[in-house]
Amino acid sequence: MPKIVRSPNPINSVVELEEGDIEKLRAGIVEDWTDDGVPPTDVFVAEQIEHLTGFLQSSHMGDCTCCPFTCEKCIAEEYLGVDTMQDLYKHDAYKVDAAFGDGRTMDEAIAWLAAYSERLDATPDSEKYDGSPKLIGLWDSAVPRWKREGERAHEWLVAYRDTHFPITCSP
């Protein structure tokens, strides 16, 4: 099994390959790229293995973090049977990632998410999109959904911290 090196921001956790993992990547690539019974060339497969191995060492970016394209890291993780952001829904993942902005630590990120709804409530109309009355309405209609996502993101990150970065009491 590959080794997951967890980062406080789960989007940045990296996956290190162990023996046999390259074969799993190879099998996944061959299966996905076989077209009408014709398998991809060895050169192509080798390139893809190198490509995905690089992605496993970098951050998630794509559908999983609400960007409209395929995340290569997610594909590689699927081939390997691991998931560095298990049960983290994409809109929530986007918020978890944002919580670590400005160099915030794990605890600061959790506090940032805990205050998410409060900050939305405190947003003046002039800061909602460009402040036009039509867009203020659009903003306000999205607030209940954003709050739910913020709450889920907060819950997820607390559980993630407790599992992978537990707080230890000093004697």
The residues that touch Zn ion, with contacts defined as CB under 5 A, are: 60, 64, 71, 73-74
100 by Cβ neighbours in 10 Å (0-12 / 13-18 / 19+) ranks as buried
Q: How far is the CB of 108 from Zn ion (least distance, A)?
A: 24
Beta bridge partners of 16: 3
Q: How far is the CB of 53 from Zn ion (least distance, A)?
A: 15
Q: Rounded distance, CA 19 to CA 146, Å?
A: 42
Q: How far is the CB of 35 from Zn ion (least distance, A)?
A: 25
Residue pair 136/128 in contact by the 8 Å Cβ criterion: yes
Q: How far is the CB of 120 from Zn ion (least distance, A)?
A: 26
What tokens appear for 148 in the block? 């739910």
Residue pair 9/100 in contact by the 8 Å Cβ criterion: yes
Kindly tell me which of 29 and 128 has the beta carbon lying closer to Zn ion: 29
Kindly tell me which of 98 and 114 has the beta carbon lying closer to Zn ion: 98
Instruction: Find the residue with minimal CB distance to Zn ion.
Output: 71
Kindly tell me which of 64 and 99 has the beta carbon lying closer to Zn ion: 64
Kindly tell me which of 147 and 164 has the beta carbon lying closer to Zn ion: 164
